[in-house]
Amino acid sequence: MFNLLLVVVGGGIGAGIRHLTSMGALRLVGPNYPWGTMAINIVGSFAMGLFIAILVRRGGSNEVRLFVATGILGGFTTFSAFSLDFATLWERGATLPAFGYALASVIGAIIALFLGLWLARSLP
């Protein structure tokens, strides 16, 4: 239960930071391109890589990993978790599964979004 609380609190913090970043980008560069989302995904992935490498080097606890990686960074962007999964497969030498995962995740998510839009628009 404590681990869940760590993730929930961290996720709330990350989601709040994501919202503030999105609003800041919207005000700074306008609504014509998703600059905020792109920046969040790139910065979040960088932060995930940096954090995990430091955590592994210093032997950080599972609780810290749950709070920061799963919670804060997961709430900030799930793209960072996706990027970490890809990197884990890649570093294990599973090149083909890594690219299959990336392709299936991105294309699958886009198709699922369009299917959800279609379904919701089809309902009476």
**So what's the pLDDT on residue 113?**
84
**Per-residue confidence (pLDDT) for residue 12, from 0 to 100:** 98
Tokens at 69, concatenated: 């990686």
Residue 33 DSSP label = S
Domain ranges of the chain: 2-77
Question: pLDDT (tens digit, 0 to 9) for every residue of the chain, 124 residues total?
Answer: 999 999 999 999 999 999 999 999 999 999 888 888 889 989 999 999 999 999 999 999 999 999 999 999 999 987 888 898 999 999 999 999 999 999 999 998 899 889 989 999 998 8
Q: Scanning the structure block, which residue is given the tokens 């884990």?
A: 88
Query: In the prediction, which pLDDT does 32 show?
Result: 86
Phi, psi of 95 (to 5 degrees): -65, -50
Q: How far apart are CA 114 and CA 119, in angstroms?
A: 8
User: What torsion do the CA atoms of 12, 14, 16, 18 make, to the nearest 10 degrees?
Assistant: -150
Length of the chain counted residue by residue: 124
- Tokens standing for residue 116: 């959800």
Please give the backbone phi and psi of residue 74, each rounded to the nearest 5 degrees, phi first: -65, -35
- Identify the pLDDT of residue 97: 94
Residue 14 CB coordination number (10 Å): 23
